[in-house]
């Protein structure tokens, strides 16, 4: 069965101007402005992180009407918990059958299968919650962002840490000039995950896994397992194979870079460079560094943003800070600021003794999932990680991988999606296997 993604000849949607919601011409489940109306949600990919997303959306009062997952074992707990929801292996069949009963869709599949279900759902006029890093390549991210804007859909990228109070305080400090003008930022994630072992031989596909559907549009390779019985790709190690995942950069980049993107109002870089260990064409590295230049914007000067997977930057020691783990380090003209998601430090310490914090001005979130569901119901406040904000951030994250894989830096024309390097350009968009072509 070939997927049908554009569906323009089958279902058309039209915006109800000024109200902030969509009505499908064949839909009988349109959401009204009433905050008491229940949203009908279908979820694609419901094991692991997907299960957490299902539960998070459910807690907002939405009704989970359908679940789709190719792995019955991984999704088993969620399937059992939502016994009344319709169950599917193939999301395409689910959306074809139930599109008139669905208002919104949650996509929590592996990176290489974000784009196709998201586009199918949005072309049907369904609001979308999608896990980070939104999609598998830059072209996919831009295409999704543009479609969501074109159809005025309510979107949210799964950057759940955006609502943490400490993150809000950090953003307020940077925006109010506590450390002066910021021209350089270091961001990183610790650890050394990557370069998984290459399997020696294929294995029998578990009866609970629809492997061909799991592969979806990506390169089809034989199913394989390690000696401990864990799948080489499914259910999790896909993250560290380039054809299916985006490495620790894609895994953590949106979470960590959300802080400087928000605080400094970054969008698209004009220069991208990267370095790291020897490039493997199939597997993501155990460490890497990428560097981005963002041009001057309004009163904000040019910003150099450094993203690393591995060790924390050495520059922090100059300010008396010794921190590892995961975090950000802002360097300003009047000082510096280190933060992770739960804490922050202004430096040097003696310079900020007696420092008076600015008044809080970032409103407390009603809840990350609730931001999305309330917007669907007609709340005029957009979800904080809607695609117009999070799309450029996700693109930047993936561009770091592009520079590393290309083995060279490049100037970037964001408007045209053009890299000055032909090697880099080859990674901006990828081909899909037969039967999964997109048009």
3-state secondary structure 238-257: HHHECCCCCHHHHHHHHHHH
pLDDT in tens, 279-325: 999 999 999 999 999 999 999 999 999 999 999 999 999 999 999 99
Asked if residue 203 belongs to a domain, the reply is no
Do residue 363 and residue 401 come from a single domain? yes
Check which CATH number belongs to the domain holding 170 and give it: 3.30.360.10
More confident residue, 33 or 190: 190
Residue 224 has pLDDT above 80, yes or no: yes
pLDDT at residue 21, as a whole number: 21
Do residue 275 and residue 398 come from a single domain? yes
Average pLDDT over residues 354-371: 97
348 backbone dihedrals φ, ψ, rounded to 5°? -70, 155
Asked if residue 199 belongs to a domain, the reply is no
Name the domain count of the chain: 2
Exposed e or buried b per residue across 146-180, where buried means at least 16 C-beta atoms within 10 angstroms of its C-beta = ebbeebbbbbbbbbbbbbbeebbbbbbbbbeebbe
pLDDT at residue 236, as a whole number: 94
Do residue 98 and residue 185 come from a single domain? no
Mean predicted lDDT score pLDDT of the chain: 92
Residue 51's domain comprises 13-161
Task: Assign 36 a pLDDT band (cuts: 50, 70, 90).
Answer: low
Residue 428 has pLDDT above 50, yes or no: yes
pTM, two decimals, is: 0.92
Average pLDDT over residues 31-54: 85
- Cβ(258)–Cβ(162) under 8 Å? yes
pLDDT at residue 37, as a whole number: 81
Check which CATH number belongs to the domain holding 93 and give it: 3.40.50.720
Asked if residue 407 belongs to a domain, the reply is yes
Q: Sort strands 327-332 and 303-309 into parallel, antiparallel or unpaired.
A: unpaired
- The tokens describing 179, both together, are 């450390």
DSSP 190: -
Asked if residue 368 belongs to a domain, the reply is yes
Do residue 318 and residue 398 come from a single domain? yes
pLDDT at residue 27, as a whole number: 32
Residue 7 has pLDDT above 80, yes or no: no
Asked if residue 437 belongs to a domain, the reply is no
Alpha-carbon separation of residue 390 from 5, 161, 182, 381, 404 (angstroms): 23, 13, 21, 16, 22
pLDDT in tens, 120-131: 999 999 999 999
Do residue 273 and residue 383 come from a single domain? yes
Query: Percent of the chain, pLDDT > 70?
Result: 92
Residue 13 has pLDDT above 80, yes or no: no
């Amino acid at each position: 069965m070939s997927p049908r993604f554009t569906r323009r000849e089958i279902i058309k949607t039209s915006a109800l101007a000024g109200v902030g919601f969509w009505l499908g011409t064949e839909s009988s489940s349109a959401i009204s402005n009433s905050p008491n109306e229940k949203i009908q949600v279908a979820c694609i990919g419901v094991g692991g992180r997907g299960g957490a997303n299902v539960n998070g959306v459910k807690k907002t009062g939405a009704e989970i009407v359908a679940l789709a997952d190719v792995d019955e074992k991984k999704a088993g707990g969620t399937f059992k918990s939502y016994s009344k929801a319709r169950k599917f292996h193939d999301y395409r069949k689910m959306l074809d059958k139930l599109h008139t009963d669905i208002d919104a869709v949650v996509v929590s599949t592996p990176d290489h299968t974000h784009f196709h279900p998201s586009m199918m759902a949005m072309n049907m006029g369904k609001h979308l919650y999608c896990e980070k890093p939104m999609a598998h390549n830059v072209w996919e991210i831009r295409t999704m962002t543009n479609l969501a804007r074109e159809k005025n859909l309510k979107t949210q990228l799964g950057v759940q840490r955006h609502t943490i109070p400490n993150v809000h305080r950090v953003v307020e400090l940077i925006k109010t000039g506590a450390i002066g003008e910021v021209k350089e930022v270091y961001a990183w994630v610790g650890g050394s995950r990557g370069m998984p072992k290459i399997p020696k031989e294929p294995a029998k596909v578990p009866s609970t896994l629809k492997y061909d559907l799991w592969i979806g549009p990506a390169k089809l390779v034989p199913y394989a397992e390690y000696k401990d019985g864990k799948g080489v790709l499914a259910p999790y190690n896909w993250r560290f194979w380039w054809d299916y995942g985006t490495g620790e950069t894609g895994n953590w980049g949106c979470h960590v870079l959300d802080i400087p993107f928000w605080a400094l109002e970054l969008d698209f870089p004009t220069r991208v460079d990267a370095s790291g260990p020897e490039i493997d064409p199939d597997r993501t590295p155990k460490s890497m560094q990428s560097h981005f230049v963002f041009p001057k914007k309004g009163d904000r000067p040019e910003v150099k943003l450094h993203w690393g997977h591995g060790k924390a930057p050495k520059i922090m020691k100059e300010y008396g800070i010794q921190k590892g783990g995961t975090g950000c380090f802002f360097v300003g003209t009047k000082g510096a600021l280190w933060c992770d998601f739960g804490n922050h430090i202004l430096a040097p310490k003696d310079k900020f003794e007696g420092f008076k914090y600015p008044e809080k001005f970032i409103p407390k979130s009603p809840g990350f999932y609730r931001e999305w569901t309330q917007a669907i119901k007609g709340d005029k406040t957009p979800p904080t990680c809607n695609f117009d904000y999070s799309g450029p951030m996700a693109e930047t994250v993936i561009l770091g991988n592009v520079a590393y894989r290309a083995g060279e830096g490049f100037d970037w024309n964001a408007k045209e999606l053009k890299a000055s390097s032909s090697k880099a350009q080859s990674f901006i968009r990828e081909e899909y296997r037969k039967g999964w072509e997109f048009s």
